[in-house]
Structure 1
Amino acid sequence: MDFTSQDIAVIEQALQFAIKSQHDANKVQSYQEVLTKLRTNASEAMKSAAYSLQDGFRFDYDDSSDLQ
């Protein structure tokens, strides 16, 4: 399943809220671990997406004038 950056932001906010409102140390630790994984994976996904845009293909739209 692919998450958008907005999805990730919502999940991150929900985890932060859960951490702040939770009194059980075990649950807080679990939420913090998930939040850390989310941030790490989201960061890697963003880097991967940025690299995929650098594929080397460029389009020259000036060639369309030859068709007229």
Structure 2
Amino acid sequence: MNMMDQEEVREAVNFTSHDVIIIERALRTAMKHDREEHRSRDYQEVLFKMQESANQALMVSAQITSEHDGLRYDYDDSSDLM
């Protein structure tokens, strides 16, 4: 698969939080039951990448939420006070 195909796949796949939980559970199960060290490391690497990606998404979401905290200032009404 060339680099463009990989990017297209990344853009096309939108996992829900439920999907991520299922995939993480499957990876943990595979790590426990697979007797081959290299495959277990592969599962662990993918799990780590997924967790990092989820953490980044949460940080971005929190940042967006904090930037839009719901406080609005309406300066048009200030002329009524004079």
Residues 39 and 57 of structure 1: CA distance in aligned 2, closer, same or farther (over 3 Å): closer
Tell me the TM-score normalised to structure 1 length: 0.72
Larger-gyration structure (1/2) = 2
43, 60, 81: which one aligns with 1:31: 43
Q: How many residue pairs get matched?
A: 60
TM-score normalised by the chain length of structure 2: 0.62
> Structure 1: which 5+ residue stretches go unaligned?
61-68
**2:58 paired residue number:** 46
RMSD over aligned Cα atoms: 1.9
Give the structure, 1 or 2, with the largest relative contact order (CA under 8 Å, sep 6 or more). Answer: 1
Identity of aligned residues (%): 32
Find the aligned partners of 1:12 and 1:56 in 2 and give their Cα distance.
31
